[in-house]
Amino acid sequence: MDDDLDILFDTHAIQDRIRELGAQISRDYAGKELIAVCVLKGAAIFASDLVRSITRPVAMDFVHAASYGDARTSSGMVTLKQDLSSDIRGKHVLIVDGIADSGRTLAFLLERFWKREPASIRTAVLLDKAVRRAVPVHIDYRGFDVPDRFVVGYGMDTGEHYRNLPYVAAVKDAAAT
Ligand code: IMP
Ligand code: MG
């Protein structure tokens, strides 16, 4: 394993937790269909695991939101590089993101999506860096709380590196935290 990384959550811990979230979501959406909106790119890995642990009918759609570029501190501005391909009016929407940091990405998507009159919107994140929250945002399903460190793996990147790590790790170098 990479000497520059501290493993925070290994593959088994992540898989177990995603199974729990899937079971909870399946119970909460009993009798309903949902549309899981995967927030690219960071949520790609988490969302693909999560939907497979949900036993309700799940449609999938994707948005590409960007706020960071390659930098490790938020630019504070969210841009939508790719919007949904489907109409969410009257649908039960579950926004799935890899990590909530400042909360700006989720707040941006929530505001935008509510205007389209869905039946409901909930949020799911694998990682919650709540200590960094700048904008209040409600997280309905969270995998793990993470400390105020820069994390990579399981979809999370630094300059497009490490997304494919099958675990979540914190970057050791001080400049990253
Ligand atoms: P927010 O809009 O500040 O909540 O940040 C959301 C986005 O910032 C995430 O979807 C990630 O792309 C990125 N991000 C925030 N913290 C980290 C981190 O520790 N590692 C990798 N990406 C992060
Ligand atoms: Mg990134």
Give the residue, by CA position, lying nearest to ligand 1 atom 3: 102
pLDDT in tens, the chain (177 residues): 678 999 999 999 999 999 999 999 999 999 999 999 999 999 999 999 999 999 999 999 999 998 755 566 666 789 999 999 999 999 999 999 999 999 999 999 999 999 999 999 999 999 999 999 999 999 999 999 999 999 999 999 999 999 999 999 999 975 644
Among 132, 135, 93, residue whose Cα is nearest residue 113: 93
Strand 34-40 relative to strand 92-100: parallel, antiparallel, unpaired? parallel
Q: Which residues pair with 38 in a beta bridge?
A: 62, 96
At 72, list the tokens: 């490790």
DSSP string of 85-127?
SS--TT-EEEEEEEEESSSHHHHHHHHHHHTT--SEEEEEEEE
What's the rounded Cα separation, in Å, for the pair 68 and 152? 14
Catalytic: which of 70, 101, 148, 157? 101
The model's pTM is: 0.95
Q: For residue 91, say if its preceding peptide bond is cis, omega within 30 degrees of 0.
A: no
Query: What residues contact residue 151 under an 8 Å CB cut-off, 6+ apart?
Result: 8, 99, 127, 129, 168, 169, 170, 171
Q: Could you confirm whether 101 is annotated as catalytic?
A: yes
Give the residue, by CA position, lying nearest to ligand 1 atom 22: 156
- Which pLDDT belongs to residue 66? 86
- Which pLDDT belongs to residue 71? 62
